[in-house]
Structure 1
């Protein structure tokens, strides 16, 4: 039988150990560094830190090499765009792959692919065979590797640490990247200056080896897959449907887009801030970039304390407003000594907001769909950043860097105000394990996994005085059914029996019906229990499962059953 990663691995054991020790998410000992107690997370974190350094060194080398291959500023800018574009194009597909296959193998495949591309890039550069478009092809391929890697990597965090530690683990991953971003470009510049771009490509190639070794040694428990994998298009559709029918995740995606749209101004306009507002040069730009990265690291270190003090929505609003104030200060400041602390504050807000969004998505999606949910969140955040980069560049063209920063500050204030209508849920670990109450029914007819469509009706008997409460509960039940894959859900009332209500929906095939029924989580049980408490009929309610049959040509399974009956003595 096909195998897949266990939904609860060492994380489940560690969570039980913490509970036995009396530790809770708000316990002082349950700190921002708690995930590093997990050996696999600690090893992967250290290896990914080295890989982040290599990636940033590679980007410096590629950008510098492009300046010698082409005089066009557009070609230089395309180095960054060619790396980010695959994330926008392929994230959802990569999320579907991450949810349907062994995430560890996906990570190894992605890292091995990027290692091979990096080696080829170094070889081509060493022999002087690179043209501008060939260099962009290599950077695009590296971006494709990142697009495949990211959903599997982010969704694997929940397999490495207990669910209450997911926010801290996500923040530590942000720390790793921002530590690398604080010093990586400077190191990359020194390497390129001393040894050339080829050396930067070689360093990046070596940086993948440690992470590949760690992932190869990781042996998470494996469980047998009960149902066949979803087809590729069905898996992407299921991810889109789940997010569309999940208000918590929709709110995160909207706010992530708005924060990316406004927040990217700090990075997008930083070269112009260094050159035009504080009258500096390349060294000034590096110092400002380091200030932003140092602020991000500091923000990560205080994140656990802030999450204990503020609700998720309050914390996110504060990041929007603080970043807006920082953008105003940077836009109006003529001196480095005022600009640097403002950028540091912006960096802290950057990591606090994005790690909170990421954690909320992970804690709001069950394991079967978490890769796709994270992919859609990532597409929204990157889409906001891309749109914001263009918008603030347009404002800067017409009103200078100060005008672009002030416009972004206004957009960030708007993003905070949107929270009045679309609030983020509390950052808590909902129990999203499968409910496990559903049992595959005994069937009296021969049915195959692809047989269908399958129609389901459930008979509820409800007192007249309970109708209003019943309808409210069924509205939530409708959302859960449709979110998990049910089609054409409807609620019918018998005209001759006022107490009789019929819940009706269908699935395209028998296997899709089984899949949908098994997706109900422990957190969904409250709605089902509420409806059953209102039910006054037989317990459990009468359920009819029916498969549609055509009146023309007989289905193959019916023909087979008929022949078997005729062959019987």
Structure 2
């Protein structure tokens, strides 16, 4: 039995605005920023080279759009595993291993292209292979950002991360167009292999502080379940994921169909297509420069709605207009894209605690990239059946609906403001035996005394506590009111094992979770709660063996303990 009292600690409710370029003053962040920029230039050159390779081989719009699908689909399969690996293993070493794999894969692709034996089918296969590396890399890369910069600089770091993508989009495609004309797609594939090495060099220069050894490491399966449980019972995270999918699916039409638009609608060669992508990249860089000012003037949800509407306008003009009038709208699309991405990326990073950060980012990237991959395939099929212009106009209409949906499905008010530091307020249980980590399931029962006139207020507060218990490891959470004592309320939930309970109360329970519990305790008669732990002895399948027998020498430590099993709260004479 453990008694808990109300904490007077206040949860911080905001973060300071900083310069958009402040993280670049930190040397290790600056090194990784430059390396990421070089690698992203290579990636965009690879994308343009692959798409133009298919254009030159007279592939259909559906096949060309599959380049986007092939590069993004691995995220659906491997993204969550990448998050698990990043949370379980040293992230720096993991990134070095995966980048080495990417160098080798891109080098083999270049070799086949130089030998003249590369076919469209094999190109898509290697695009998937390189995408697998990206899927495993992205969660770890996103998760290390809070290790590189202070919390208040995370939104700026998210924007700068997008800068590397969009400066690369401005430089890479144009450079790829020149290289394709002069040396062919094979040279582009070779340069991409070299660009991956830049990340390896920067990571090897990072002297990351050593992590404490993990004595009871979670299995991959349990780690995935923990991430899914966090998302399921985290309303803030769920809403961010919903907004990501609503934007990414229709917005993917531009990226999937832009090669066809450049070649068939604007009658451009590879250099012209590179300039089109460069216009989008320039717009994104302008957006990064303006986003901090826009956030000061507009609420986050206003930014999301305005960006979706601006992107829709750009799509419509691109669908029906010549290239000249479309240039400023390409800039607008780039600005709208970066405004949405940086807003959502910062929101999810500021809403994930350390213990589940990489896995949470993996789920976010899975939803966003998966929506893009699915959208690219759908818009490619749509263009093949109803025409390019009709496909882009339909996507624009969906984006307008996305903008309107912000009014009814906005980001939640607490997004990015919760205190994610680990709380030490949940007392460590004192038992008369030492359970094995695998002992369980464990039933946790907590009793509260609540006056009748505050029962509704207490119940509402405990619903938040229930979500906290569930997303940190508990299941079958319930709240009961005694039929004999009108003031007695019992909270119960189960954890699969003692090791899982230990993780829940020692590493997963956050200050914001304890603030929710403290709010509920303020509704009780005495501001206290009594917690009890029960180990399973038998179930539908028979006896489970139970925990070790109680140590007789310890039997006097706790009067309410009987043979290592705590009685139900109502069996306590005090109650």
TM-score (norm 1): 0.87
What is the Cα deviation at residue 144 of structure 1?
Answer: 1.0
Q: Which runs of 5+ in 1 are unaligned?
A: 1-22
Q: 2:290 aligns with which of 281, 288, 302?
A: 302
Partner Cα distance (1:79, 1:72) in 2? 11
Deviation at residue 289 of structure 1 after TM alignment: 2.0
Picking from 334, 337, 358, the partner of 1:347 is 334
Contact 2:239 2:409 in 1 (8 A): yes
1:477 aligns with 2:477: no
2:458 & 2:68 partners in 1: Cα distance? 54
Distance 1:425 1:381, change over 3 A: same
Are 1:86 and 2:77 an aligned pair?
no
Give the C-alpha shift of residue 371 in structure 1.
Answer: 1.4
Shift of 1:72: 4.8
2:45 and 2:135 map into 1 onto residues whose CA distance is: 19
Deviation at 1:77?
5.1
SS of equivalent to 1:368 = helix
Give 1:489 deviation, angstroms. 0.8
Task: Quote how far apart the aligned CAs of 1:393 are.
Answer: 3.7
Q: Distance in 2 between matches of 1:211 and 1:63?
A: 25
- Deviation at residue 281 of structure 1 after TM alignment: 4.9
**Alignment partner of 2:300 out of 297, 307, 312:** 312
CA deviations on 1:195-226 (whole Å, 9 max, x unpaired) are 34443233222212222121112122234256
Give the match for residue 550 of structure 1: 538
- Give the superposition deviation at 1:251: 1.1
- Cα pair distance change 1:336/1:433, threshold 3 Å: same
Q: 1:328 aligns with which of 316, 338, 343?
A: 316
Question: Superposition pairs for residues 370-449 of structure 1, below 5 Å?
Answer: 370-397=357-384, 399-425=386-412, 428-449=416-437
Q: Please state if 1:524 is matched with 2:519.
A: no
Give per-residue Cα distances to partners, 1:517-543, cap 9 Å, x unaligned.
231111222211112222224x64221
How many Å separate the matches in 2 of 1:459 and 1:303? 49
Pick aligned residue for 2:200 from 189, 196, 212? 212
Question: Please, which of 444, 462, 484 is the counterpart of residue 496 of structure 1?
Answer: 484
Determine the C-alpha separation between the residues in 2 that align with 1:192 and 1:233. Answer: 45
Aligned length: 536
Moved more, 253-262 or 224-233: 224-233
Q: What is the CA–CA distance in structure 2 between the aligned matches of 1:82 and 1:260, rounded to whole Å?
A: 16
User: RMSD between aligned alpha carbons?
Assistant: 2.7
Equivalent residues of 2:458, 2:524 under 8 A apart = no
User: For 1:200 and 1:392, how far apart are their aligned partners in 2?
Assistant: 27
The 1-side partners of 2:386 and 2:51 are apart by: 28
Task: Name the counterpart of 1:367.
Answer: 354
CA distance in 2, matches of 1:416, 1:510: 46
Moved more, 191-200 or 359-368: 191-200
Task: Please say which of residues 456-465 and 256-265 is displaced more in the overlay.
Answer: 256-265
Aligned to 2:559: none
| Distance of aligned partners of 1:132 and 1:270 in 2 relative to their CA distance in 1, 3 Å threshold | closer
The alpha-carbon deviation at position 79 of structure 1 amounts to: 4.3
| Aligned with 1:452 (options 435, 440, 443) | 440
CA displacement, residues 424-457 of structure 1 (integer Å, 9 cap, x when unaligned):
1356453201112223222113420000111111
> Residue 16 of structure 2 corresponds to which residue in structure 1?
25
TM-score by length of 2: 0.86
Shift, 1:549, TM fit? 1.2
Contact 1:227–1:515 (CA<8 Å) still a contact in 2? Answer: no
Query: Is 2:484 the counterpart of 1:534?
Result: no
Secondary structure of the residue aligned to 1:174 is: helix
CA contact (8 A) 1:313 1:425 kept: no
Give 1:556 shift. 8.1
Q: Superposed, which structure 2 residues align to 1:224-239 within 5 Å?
A: 224-225=212-213, 228-239=216-227
Q: Deviations over 1:533-566 (max 9, x none)?
A: 22224x642211110113976838648989xx9x
Contact 2:106 2:189 in 1 (8 A): yes
User: 1: CA distance between counterparts of 2:127 and 2:453?
Assistant: 65
1:164-199: CA deviation from partner (whole Å, max 9, x where unpaired): 211111111111111111121221232233234443
Q: CA deviation at 1:249?
A: 1.2
CA–CA separation in structure 1 for the residues paired with 2:163 and 2:423: 35
In structure 2, C-alpha distance between the alignment counterparts of 1:558 and 1:340, rounded to whole Å: 73
Please list the CA deviations of residues 247-285 of structure 1 after superposition, one character each: whole Å capped at 9, or x if unmatched.
111111111111111212222232343355545554443
2:464/2:516 contact within 8 Å kept: yes
Question: d(CA) in 1 for partners of 2:224 and 2:427?
Answer: 27
Match of 1:183 in 2: 171
2:180–2:270 CA contact under 8 A, matched in 1:
no
